[in-house]
Structure 1
Amino acid sequence: MDELAALVQQGDPDRYAATIAASDSARARLWPLYAFNLEVARAPWVTQEPLIAEMRLQFWTDVLDDIAAGKPARAHHVAAPLAQLWRAADLPVALGQGLVAARQWDIYRAPFADDAAFRAHLDATSGNLMWLAALALGAPPHSEGPVRAMAFASGLANWMVAIPQLQAAGRIPLVDGRDSAVAGLARDGLAQLARARAQRRAVPAPILPVMLTGWQAGAILQRAAQRPELVAQGGLLRSEFRRRGVLMLRALSGRW
């Protein structure tokens, strides 16, 4: 588990920071999922060859197929603990498959077909991951709405932060990149965040470490809504000190 913790800490420091307030048992369930997400998200970017990237994603599809079929876990530093968790928590394999399939977009340079396709991508990646994490900590079915609403806001905020890098890599990250459209999209994200927070009572306290992964979403989306030109400039993030302070206050208050 220490290897997974180090992997998440290095590759996904914000999600790692959100787990610090969690119990040991919660972290033991979250880190395999977050490490899995990292491996899948990186797969399209470690090579310039689309076929090799496809093969890397196929590996994770096969890992999930093996879990569904009850086959022995693959000898891989993430796949083995992931399989153990998946079976112990009885997680839906289809959610993981959807997350992997969505990463096909990262391999190629085609734009999203429309706004619905873009939103579906966020839901399949950020949404599926956050709901899987919530399920791993025992979330009841009625929590899915607010969890996915938070995931959309969080995923959109992270996406907007990554836009300069995506564009530099030759991708077309937005259906409409005009400032007015970017500001409108950010407002949609803020509305989803408000929706999630309005349904706090539907999310049990043990799910707090999962919801805290969206701790930056509000500030990022607010800045994007007010100054959409900052998105292309890469100017959405606050200072590290202030960001960590916000996380600490949310963790202590239990109000994500």
Structure 2
Amino acid sequence: MSADTFADTLRREDPARYLASLFAPAPVRANLWAVYAFNAEIARIPASVSEAVIGEMRLAWAREALADLYARPPRVRRHPVYEALATLRDQPGAPDEALLAGLVEARNADLGEGAFPDTAERDAYIDRTAGTLMRAGARLCAPDWQPGDGAERALTAAGRLWGYTGLLRDFARLCAAGRPPVTQDELEASGASVETLRRGLQPETAIKAREGLVDRARHAARDLSASRKALPASVFPAIGYAVLARGDLAAARRPADPYNYAPADNPLGAQLALLWASVTGRV
């Protein structure tokens, strides 16, 4: 798969990361695209299967393909994404097998049903998906960078801001799939149930159920504002798209109907927001 094909895939399936990656030098951008294409490949599995067991089989195939890729000598599957990862594997800052396998394992949660057990488990899911991908990208952009406490706080906050706003964007789809991105306590406190959310009923109750998502996203946004100065400019191509989550969060706080909420598609506005953030450092 050529770089242009990866670019087309990311423009369609992961436009925010794609736009931010354009701020990277060409060689770094190609490495980011390889990792992002891998993430897109595994992230689409849960939504593309009719039965969980089929999704489990496809994720198992991905884990086996990674094991082959990192074997000595490597055995590279004839698949464009894994061929790109093979080229990336030994470059400075490249993710190791454990990191990529962790991304695969995290997607098993997307094959189940029901709410999250608690907030800690939901935070952990976001850290293992959005957070891990953001850290992998930052390391590709700055292989020799050793983040201190402030930068670690910023990375965690940026990943959670993006992850939580992602759950808000996907709220209706996840509810319809029987996987509402709320906790058991949030369900009980709101009076909602997995079934009412699945059927798109009682929007007022659904708004109450998702208040925890909004609160966690707002907390992450405040944390990122307080710690972003610890991030070097070199990691912006891997972190900068978090600024776009701020606009999504503002819109999500005032939904007329949580089942019909969708952020406006505004590529030019996104490009301008990223350009301003790159100049000011205000991710």
User: Above 0.5 in TM-score?
Assistant: yes
Q: Does 1:232 align with 2:240?
A: no
Question: Which position in structure 2 is the counterpart of 1:202?
Answer: 230
Q: What are structure 1's unaligned runs of at least 5 residues?
A: none
Q: Deviations over 1:65-106 (max 9, x none)?
A: 234433232221001112322331342332222211111122
SS at match of 1:233: coil
Q: What code does the residue aligned with 2:111 have? A: I
**Correspondence 1:178-197 to 2 at 5 A:** 178=190, 179-180=207-208, 182-197=210-225
Aligned pair partner of 1:141 in 138, 147, 154: 147
**Correspondence 1:1-256 to 2 at 5 A:** 1-70=3-72, 71-88=74-91, 89-138=93-142, 139-142=145-148, 143-175=151-183, 176=186, 178=190, 179-180=207-208, 182-225=210-253, 227=254, 230-235=257-262, 237-238=263-264, 240=266, 241-256=268-283
Q: Deviations over 1:144-174 (max 9, x none)?
A: 3311210100111111011111122332221
Aligned CA distance change for structure 1 residues 247 and 205 (closer, same or farther; 3 Å): closer
Aligned CA distance change for structure 1 residues 185 and 108 (closer, same or farther; 3 Å): closer
SS at match of 1:216: helix
Which moved further from structure 2: 79-88 or 36-45? Answer: 79-88
Q: Structure 1 residue 230: deviation in Å?
A: 4.8
Query: Following the alignment from structure 1 to structure 2, what is the Cα–Cα distance between the partners of residues 54 and 183?
Result: 31
Q: Structure 1 residue 32: deviation in Å?
A: 0.6
Q: How many residues align?
A: 254
Larger helix proportion of the pair: 1
SS at match of 2:181: coil
Q: What code does the residue aligned with 1:36 have? A: F
Query: Following the alignment from structure 1 to structure 2, what is the Cα–Cα distance between the partners of residues 22 and 116?
Result: 34
Query: Following the alignment from structure 2 to structure 1, what is the Cα–Cα distance between the partners of residues 224 and 261?
Result: 27
Identity of aligned residues (%): 31
Please say if residues 229 and 281 of structure 2, whose CA atoms lie closer than 8 Å, have aligned partners that are also in contact: no
Query: Following the alignment from structure 1 to structure 2, what is the Cα–Cα distance between the partners of residues 239 and 35?
Result: 21
Q: What code does the residue aligned with 2:82 have? A: A
Query: Following the alignment from structure 1 to structure 2, what is the Cα–Cα distance between the partners of residues 65 and 205?
Result: 34
SS at match of 1:74: coil
Query: Following the alignment from structure 1 to structure 2, what is the Cα–Cα distance between the partners of residues 20 and 53?
Result: 32
So what's the TM-score if we normalise by structure 1? 0.88
SS at match of 2:166: helix
Q: What code does the residue aligned with 2:274 have? A: L
Q: What code does the residue aligned with 1:133 have? A: G
Q: Structure 1 residue 245: deviation in Å?
A: 3.2
SS at match of 2:89: helix
Cα-Cα RMSD: 2.2
